[in-house]
Amino acid sequence: MATNLFDYAYDLEKALRNSNEFIHLKMMYTEVENDEIAKSMFDAFRNIQMNLQQKQMEGRDITETEIMEAQEIANQVQGNEKVTRLMEAEQQLSMSINELNKIIMKPLDELYGFINQ
Amino acid sequence: MATNLFDYAYDLEKALRNSNEFIHLKMMYTEVENDEIAKSMFDAFRNIQMNLQQKQMEGRDITETEIMEAQEIANQVQGNEKVTRLMEAEQQLSMSINELNKIIMKPLDELYGFINQ
Ligand SMILES: [Ca+2]
Ligand SMILES: [Ca+2]
């Protein structure tokens, strides 16, 4: 790969690191990290999410107990402002990153004739 | 998102479009497109691959007949120089894109403490 291509990626990385969305996400993340209750909720929620995703990817069945556990933690999480703000910040950044990926991958989409709107 | 971030993505997109790897991939793709035998092999291989991936994602069983069919087409494909060159070009570009993604996603990896080598 031409050095060039890497250079453009490094520029984009720097822009992402200095973007309002990323700086906001970092702040929201620090707020959760510094709050024991918020932190343990966030970790528990993330763990359950990752477990369920893993099971789904492996084609294993998800039990009713697991669904109920996930819902219980999701409810707790919705009541904690720091965690919900962090999750909103994550979602915003994730949407921006999807937009960036769409832009960057356009040459390949065109080559293979895919249409992602 | 700041306009800025988009601008950097557009620059990277342009660099990718003008990169040797992408131009090479386009040439290899055109060679296959212009050769009926190569084209039908490539399409058949791609279709089977996508079917199997879809089934796997949905946790459905893959039959022995399907595995044998996939192997048969994979063998045919390996005997066709145009198709193998296209697949090599795809793999090379895909490796470069993985590198680019690693660079761009570094701020997020750092924030969450993941290590992707
Ligand atoms: Ca697209
Ligand atoms: Ca990394």
List domains and CATH numbers for chain A: 3-112 (1.20.1500.10)
Residue A107 CA to residue A114 CA, distance in Å, equals: 10
Question: In angstroms, what is the span from residue B116 Cα to ligand 2's centroid?
Answer: 4
Amino acid occupying residue B3: T
pLDDT tens digits, B8-42: 999 999 999 999 999 999 999 999 999 999 999 99
* pTM: predicted TM-score of the whole model, two decimal places: 0.82
Cβ distance of B8 and A11 shorter than 8 Å: yes
Take residue B6 and report the two structure tokens written for it.
Answer: 């988009």
Which stretches in chain B have pLDDT values below 50?
1, 115-117
B57 neighbourhood in chain A, CB within 8 Å: 57
Residue of B nearest to A28 (CA): B111
pLDDT tens digits, A59-104: 788 899 999 999 999 999 999 999 999 999 999 999 999 999 999 9
Note the residue count of chain B.
117
Cβ distance of B100 and A9 shorter than 8 Å: yes
- Average confidence (pLDDT) over A23-28: 97
Cβ atoms < 10 Å from Cβ of A50: 10
Residue A66 CA to residue A88 CA, distance in Å, equals: 24
- Residues from B in contact with A at Cβ < 8 Å: 1-2, 4-6, 8-13, 15-17, 19-22, 25-26, 29, 56-60, 93, 96-97, 99-100, 103-108, 111
A104 neighbourhood in chain B, CB within 8 Å: 9, 12-13, 16, 100
Q: Which of A1, A15, A16 is closest, CB to CB, to B19? A: A1
- Using H for helix, E for strand and C for coil, what is the string for B29-41? HHHHHCCHHHHHH
Residue A51 CA to residue A3 CA, distance in Å, equals: 39
Q: Is the pLDDT of residue A36 over 50?
A: yes
Identify the sign of the CA torsion A30, A31, A33, A39. negative
Backbone angles phi, psi at B2, to 5 degrees: -60, 140
Which ranges in chain A belong to alpha helices (H)?
3-17, 20-33, 36-57, 64-78, 81-104, 106-112
Helix (H) or strand (E) holding B62: none
